Amino acid sequence: MKRNLLLLTLFTLLSVPAFAVDGEPSPEAKAEATRGNWSGWRGPTRDGLSAETGLLSSWPDAGPRLAWKAKGLGSGFSSVAVANDRIFTMGKKDGSTKMIALSTNRGSVIWEADMGAGANPNCTPTVDGDRVYGLTHSGELVCISATNGKILWRRNFPTDFKGRMESGWGYSESPVIDGDRLICTPGGNSAVMVALDKANGELLWSAEMPAAVGDRGQDGAGYSSIVISEIAGRKQYVQLTGRGVLGVDGETGKLLWVYNRIANSTANIPTPIVKGDYIFCSTGYGTGAALIQIHDRNGQFQVEEKYFLEAKKLQNHHGGMLLIGDYIYCGHGHNQGFPVCLNMMTGEYAWGPERGAGTGSAAILYADGHLYFRYQSGDMALIEATSTGYKLKGKFRTDEVNGQSWPHPVIAGKKLYLRDQGTLMVYDIAK
């Protein structure tokens, strides 16, 4: 165990962030797949592309075999991270938010850590070597020993950074690790984004929100999570906030640009997709979707809108979007999740929208040539990842449905992990 933790720590420290090329999972995703890991929100490069192979290419009528399930994880919409034979998730139990570590061997509890009182958590933990990081609904950022559950340090977004949320569903992002830094989004005007020393939580820089960024949306953090990217020759942290998509200089913390048109005043949720200097973003609540290009013009970063799609054409409420090759795959419609395939550069449909195998918004993941759609209704669908047409390869209803099935699906070690409130269901999807 110690050797595995050391190797993962060295890998994190020495690696340079890499990103999927032409729809291929990133080098980090491939490295994680060899260890059966999925270390945080939407994978190591936050693109939702798993490098797992040898998976079922179709499902029987009853769905894949339920390998095991664990109960008693508390309430909330947190998904799971998997690293070094452990599963990490969060839930509200007995009035307090808990970080919980489970064994990948049938889900026995290894430890629980008390993160403080608060409402149901939405954050998916971020694992970095021998540490795991989580954020509560009220904005308590906690660093915990992955080995024994000891709390190592904590920061509070509202108190320490005058942070705020754009609306009342609470902090939801999963913090991102970049080398020796932890990057997160308190949402305050003087600290819309901050970089902290991941070892002790000390503030390294804070990004200030300009006074005038447009009239759409509201001040504060959104429900998205940061993507690390190389854009127009500069390392940038891209995030969707209450005022729209923005980019922050990875070294200095200077806010470089803001795109306000994509913001709405209720909730801005999906994690943006970045490909080179292009960013694809979408929100629900009648907003729409857009492709923008970032230019460095004599040191001033400017946003060029390539196209904007009205809500009736494309809006991803929540559940996320995937870029595979030249095509965006996602669920379309406010609280709908109709499967759709869109050419990223032109904004034109390749196929869809389709009715789909379930109802409500769809959280999605890619692995081994297929899309995994998890619907709010508790229905799972396996769809071939091709731009030539909608090809459903199987569907099933999960063993338990305890409310809105919003947590994102995770694949690690040829297992499909589905959190549903206090229950974690694990399906065997090996070919």
The model's confidence at residue 6, banded by pLDDT at 50, 70 and 90, is very low
Check: pTM over 0.85? Answer yes or no.
yes
Residue 216 is predicted with a pLDDT of 97
Mean per-residue pLDDT for 300-313? 98
Domain architecture of the chain: domains with CATH: 2-428 (2.130.10.10)
The model's confidence at residue 319, banded by pLDDT at 50, 70 and 90, is very high
- Residue of 353, 359, 272 whose CA lies nearest to 312: 353
Q: pLDDT tens-digit profile of 294-303?
A: 999 999 999 9
Mean per-residue pLDDT for 164-191? 97
Mean per-residue pLDDT for 109-132? 96
Q: pLDDT tens-digit profile of 247-262?
A: 999 999 999 999 999 9
Residue 211 is predicted with a pLDDT of 87
Residue 23 is predicted with a pLDDT of 61
Mean per-residue pLDDT for 396-425? 98
Residue 291 is predicted with a pLDDT of 98
Q: Which helix (H) or strand (E) holds 193?
A: strand 193-197
d(CA 5, CA 366) in angstroms, rounded, equals: 26
For residue 184, count other CB atoms closer than 10 A to its CB: 30
d(CA 17, CA 427) in angstroms, rounded, equals: 30
Whether the pLDDT of residue 14 is over 80: the answer is: no
